[in-house]
Structure 1
């Protein structure tokens, strides 16, 4: 179905024959909102890196810890780009458990996520949530969206969530520029929460197998230095860029998974002027 604006409806945009990152991630997390192409792609990655499901779980736990950490610092607004398909303890649920009046705007470009937006939009009576059908590559569209303006006050601190999404932005798509534009719209005292796949800890043979699954070239793993370059101008919160399995985990069961098994770096950074 074509909308009045000439765009395909969410249902008509779903291509079940091609794996999509959000649906593949859902599969790796043990979800059911995925198709054969997503499962085939996920299984191929698991064949190359058998601990990839553990990595997905640890990355999700990092998001939850980071949201809880910032909410306890008094941050009550969250802009979550690359939301993914809803699962347990979404950003608004974690934030509103600490601050019931917290406000969250979700952004994703997967029509399956749009179909689940109603679940994302549930909220405490004091808080508020909204969902934008948009792409990280179009920061101006996100910032100019009326639902963002109606939900968040960009004169007050906002936590910009970029969890497991920057590695889908190629270098020629200017990830640093995209992030800089979003950060420029946020006031001092805001934060960026980001995680990024890294292959720096993996043996060359494993990296080669993972690269073989990146035949369309859309995926871009980055090491710690390259990840830090994207965050230039931000003030890193202790402990800086570390494995998501190592970020603020003192109260979690020990020992934690190895950096090799997880291969995700995470960071919380402060916006300063």
Structure 2
């Protein structure tokens, strides 16, 4: 137990004292992501635009015939949920593969392994600013007017950063142990897209088990938070129970992440 708390303290110190290195890694990954493309950074806006358009055509026009939800145009309702989902999906997938993709660099440079997945999450978050810009354009173009509760989006962005950072610390270690976890994580994320209320509205008819699951589901918590603050004028403080569940889960995941990162740090060369 004493050794575990030493590992926990070491990881926390590594993160706290190397924030500038995390941001440097994130900025490097962000620039590297578009340097080989003719359109460059334009793809960071075109890609979510195409994805949102495709989902709107299928779910909004094809299945719902353009019907609004709670008086809100479906394209706005969809965009406010799909924007955080795209951010989280990319961050989880890339974060899981982050240490493995930079294994050679880790063997040559004295960099704490826990910094790599955090840099990946921040890089994806920088790319997500394009998605947020597109969301704001669609939001305002459809006549939606934000109220003071919209400031709660910044709280949910912070929650997303915490969740994705902790998640990437765990998944990146798992992928180093067995590459099969990378495929498993991608499959789980595809499943989570459908059981998380991204394109569908939770109602009273859904099974109780799914209601309980989405109450504890961090993806659903952040998607729901974006919509509540932007579309339903609900402050984040109104979700007291959900907030408590989310932060208790984050503490638990951080404790697990410390154990995983400690074992991986000691056996990095063996995993390679």
TM over 0.5: no
Q: Which structure would you say has the larger Rg?
A: 2
Q: Whose relative contact order is higher, 1 or 2, with alpha carbons under 8 Å and at least 6 apart? A: 2
Give the TM-score normalised by structure 1.
0.32
Which has more helix, going by share of residues?
A: 2
